[in-house]
Amino acid sequence: MRCPICHHDASAPRCANCNRPLLDAAPDPVLELVGVTHHYGTGEAAVQALQGISLSVDRGEVVLMVGPSGGGKTTALLVMGLLLTPDSGTVRIGGRDVGTLAERERAGMRLLRLGFLFQDYNLLNSLTSAENVAVPLRYAGVRKSAALARATELLDSLGLAHRAGHRPTELSGGEKQRVATARALAMGPDLILADEPTANLDSVTGHKVSEQLASAARAHNAAVLIVTHDSRLDDIADRVVHLEDGRILEAAV
Ligand code: ADP
Ligand code: MG
């Protein structure tokens, strides 16, 4: 097996050179939901946020999830990100039923298999761009020098080499989301989940950032699922999924 971070030939469980935990790439589909339901609250206040959604995403696919506010998009993304256990249904990542995993294994899967992007970037203001990108690598036990080298390489690939030493307060919104994109890619994830990543950007910047996210994900053979209100992002996606009232209305290819 080849370490996806430093490209050293290595064998599991860790790369002997940079200390990254090694995993085989997840087989297709990287993500599978079958009949997932979830509700919030009880009695009269109960809301059925997901009414039985099924969805399958393959390696390298760029999927857009659109739909009205309150339709269940964030809930679906939380379920896919193993941050919320649904009431019923099955969630498989790389063929593994995550419902059977202990919390520690779910946390490991989040770190090693998944990348996340948020509307408000979630960067640490006290760290530089390179240090922010290096955070998940450091959590995974990658040595500081190897983590920063990998972070710099990713920032460079996103056209941000000149911002590697800047802190988030010195960056534009678009630059911050590109730093967050580099961070989401850092661990070589199988799937990136993005909840309204362009909501705080003007439409031109939002489009450019989404295009970069899609092409970086394809280059790393990672799937990406982007929740958005912005239907003008259609052209960057392989597929658009409509989620409304907790149901998938159509999945146009
Ligand atoms: P979207 O992201 O598409 O706007 P959400 O998944 O956030 O939709 O919400 C789906 C439904 O669940 C909405 O009716 C929302 O009000 C409700 N909901 C979401 N989160 C909670 C929560 N923590 N407690 C109670 N209701 C919630
Ligand atoms: Mg939402």
- Does the C-beta of 189 come closer than 6 Å to ligand 1? no
- Please answer whether residues 31 and 51 qualify as being in contact, where contact means their C-beta atoms are separated by less than 8 angstroms: no
pLDDT at 15: 80
Percent of residues, the chain, with pLDDT higher than 90: 79
Q: Does 186 score more than 60 pLDDT?
A: yes
Q: Kindly state if the Cβ of 41 falls inside 6 Å of ligand 1.
A: yes
Digit-coded pLDDT (tens) for 30-63: 999 999 999 999 999 999 999 999 999 999 999 9
Using one digit for the tens of pLDDT, what is the confidence trace for 189-215?
999 999 999 999 999 999 999 999 999
- pTM beyond 0.85: the answer is yes
Q: Out of 5-9, 137-141, 240-244, give the one with best mean pLDDT.
A: 240-244
Question: Right CATH number for 58-87+98-252 from 3.90.1170.50, 3.40.50.620, 3.40.50.300, 3.30.450.40?
Answer: 3.40.50.300
Q: Which residue has a Cα nearest atom 22 of ligand 1?
A: 40
Residue type, 142: V
- Tell which atom from ligand 1 comes closest to the C-alpha of 71: 3
Q: What are the domain boundaries of the chain?
A: 58-87+98-252
pLDDT band at 230 (very low <50, low <70, confident <90, very high): confident
Name which of 177, 225, 216 is nearest 56 in CA terms.
225
225 Cβ inside 6 Å of ligand 1: no
Mean pLDDT of the chain: 92
pLDDT of amino acid 207: 93
Alpha-carbon distances, residue 78 vs 74, 125, 135, 150, 231 (angstroms): 6, 25, 21, 28, 22
Going by alpha carbons, the residue nearest to atom 10 of ligand 1 is 72
* Closest approach atom of ligand 1 to CA 67: 3
